[in-house]
């Protein structure tokens, strides 16, 4: 099957590699020529613009960092909307429901179906093909792309209305962010009181406090001090803000998640938005005068 793919970053590149390995012909585009070259060496076909990708494939997928970039790639000059062959635009990015609905309406005017299909599972999930793939859209269109999406992860069909996938992704990401923020505060407190951080994790993971941060991130990247989960703090802050915008429209109180947003903002202000998401513990360590590390 011919598949277009736009956005060859930390998530996009491993997804493209899996599609190539599964026998698909993948036409790729990225603003970075080196990213295109690396995948062309593996068998991908290079394109010079999103429109050129959409000239070559009925299904165009995208994995991009921000809603504005997705909008430009999908509907701007030389965008997917100008492609001659494209029938469906599968957006694997996180844009929020409002943007997903906006892009859907613009593409529909050109008889292109948008399927907002964000993914969760991080870089490791993209590499292993174990992502959670959240898919709303017309049933026939979802059925047409489900075999392709199954190459990159487990597909969860959510309904037909545009934006449902985005809301589901934001719900997931704010829970991940909350687990990391709360665990950071708890671990810093325990270390300052004199507890061994590795023993703390062992106890927490044997008890009721365990979560994704204690079971995975802290042991792998915080205690050794590598801070390399592979997802930027600025991108997580973007997702949390998108969630807060949606709950504002829906009229849902979210005091806890607002506090998480504040800690992420502090992290971005002090360490920069490109700092790894797991570095959210570092501003807390600085203020407490301790480090949560173990050899």
Residues annotated as part of the active site? 169
Rounded to whole angstroms, the Cα distance separating 70 from 225 reads: 33
CB atoms within 10 A of CB 160: 12
Cα distances (Å, whole numbers) of residue 245 to 83, 106, 239, 240, 248: 32, 22, 10, 9, 5
The residue with tokens 């997804």 is: 15
User: Which residues 6+ apart lie within 8 Å of 55 measured at CB?
Assistant: 83, 84, 85, 86
Max CA pair span of the chain:
65
Cα distances (Å, whole numbers) of residue 236 to 84, 229, 233: 35, 12, 5
CB atoms within 10 A of CB 32: 10
């Amino acid at each position: 099957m011919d598949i277009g793919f736009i956005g060859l970053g930390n998530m996009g590149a491993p997804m493209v590699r899996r599609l190539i390995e599964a026998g698909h012909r993948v036409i790729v585009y990225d603003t970075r020529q080196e990213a295109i070259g690396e995948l062309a060496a593996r068998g991908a076909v290079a394109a010079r613009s999103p429109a050129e990708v959409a000239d070559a494939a009925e299904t165009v997928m995208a994995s991009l960092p921000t809603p504005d970039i997705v909008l430009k790639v999908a509907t701007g000059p030389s965008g997917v909307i100008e492609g001659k062959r494209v029938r469906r635009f599968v957006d694997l990015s996180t844009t929020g429901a409002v943007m997903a609905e906006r892009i859907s309406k613009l593409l529909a005017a050109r008889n292109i179906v948008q399927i907002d299909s964000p993914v969760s599972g991080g870089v490791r999930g993209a590499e292993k093909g174990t992502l959670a793939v959240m898919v709303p859209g017309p049933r026939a269109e979802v059925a047409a792309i489900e075999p392709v999406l199954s190459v990159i992860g487990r597909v969860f069909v959510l309904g037909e209305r545009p934006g449902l996938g985005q809301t589901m992704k934001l719900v997931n990401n704010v829970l991940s962010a909350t687990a990391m923020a709360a665990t950071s505060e708890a671990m810093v407190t325990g270390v300052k009181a004199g507890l061994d951080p590795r023993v703390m994790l062992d106890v927490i993971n044997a008890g009721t406090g365990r979560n994704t941060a204690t079971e995975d991130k802290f042991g792998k990247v915080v205690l050794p001090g590598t801070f390399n989960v592979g997802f930027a703090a600025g991108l997580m802050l973007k997702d949390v803000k998108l969630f807060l915008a949606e709950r504002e429209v829906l009229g849902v109180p979210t005091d806890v998640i607002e506090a998480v947003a504040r800690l992420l903002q502090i992290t971005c202000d002090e360490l920069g938005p490109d700092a790894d998401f797991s570095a959210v513990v570092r501003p807390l360590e600085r203020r407490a005068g301790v480090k949560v590390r173990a050899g």
